[in-house]
Chain A
Amino acid sequence: MGLITKSRIKSPWIVHYSCGGCNGCDIEILACLTPLYDVERFGILNMGNPKHADILTVTGPVNHRNYRVLKNLYEQMPDPKVVLAIGACACTGGVFHNCYNVLGGIDKVIPVDVYIPGCAPRPETIIDGVIMALKKLNEKGSKAE
């Protein structure tokens, strides 16, 4: 395993955007940072700035107003980058699928690499998803080189 590959896998920085969910997934993502789950063990940091991030974690369904925000955040991230759809709503629209203002899952707007189901997914599931995303991240990175 090359140094770059190893570093990439060991240092995933996250930017989180809450599209239009119910907060449940958002707090579960935050909970991942806290002592019980402590994702910093894997080098995961929540950066809050798309320009610094490798992984975009999105919760909630996209609606007519926030899809542009989501797209903009995605575009501002430097390559290689991956997108995680966290929770049922982000995957498909979930319980809000029939709401008039909801477009559906976030894959309607940006390419999604890993879907994490659940309402809300448990922190363990989310961590699992991030680890899966890392594989994709590395594939994308190596392809670019």
Chain B
Amino acid sequence: MVEAFKNSWITFKSIFIGMGITIRHFFGKSVTLQYPDERPVLPNNARAKLYVNIDDCIGCNLCARACPVNCIYIDTVPSTSDVDLGKTSTGNPKRFWLTRFDIDMAKCMYCDLCVHPCPTNCIYMVSEYEYSEFNRTNLIYHFSNLEPAMVAEVKEKAANEAAEKQRQREEMMRKKAEEAKMKQIEAKKQAEEKNDGEKGSEPSKKENGDS
């Protein structure tokens, strides 16, 4: 009986303590942030969205290779000799036209792994977090700033130059091959001549040696 009363007393006491805490919070301050009116201040290094400073990109493909989910797509075309693409702000020379630099943010898992290998620090996370879309394809961001016509032109140019280079290389190879052939022939000739001479001289040497 006494036990039962004690138990109920403890129950009531713990309930009242709990109610005391909740009523204190009732009159306390709330922690809610009224979202569209007030916005949370994200730290500078918040990882919310990938951004590429395309002017600094040298098309090295390191980020795409570092991505665990393969959400970065890069196509490059080597620049032709008549165009100087300039240098990045970090001083690396640019050697490629970036015909395509797409990031599928629907696939991205914000792991930050692509940021670190970049030699020119041109790919990084920004703290912009409101970019929902109604259509999934809108989440594929195109960073390349080349016009389609330009892309075609560049591609053609590059192809031409590549063909030219190939041709040159082939010519060189041919020349080299010819030269080598000539040399071989000459060498053969010389060797034959030598041989002819040697045939006569050798025995005399031997003879000398023997004697």
Please determine whether chains A and B interact with each other in the same assembly: no
Residues on B lying within 8 angstroms of A by beta carbon are: none
Residues on A lying within 8 angstroms of B by beta carbon are: none
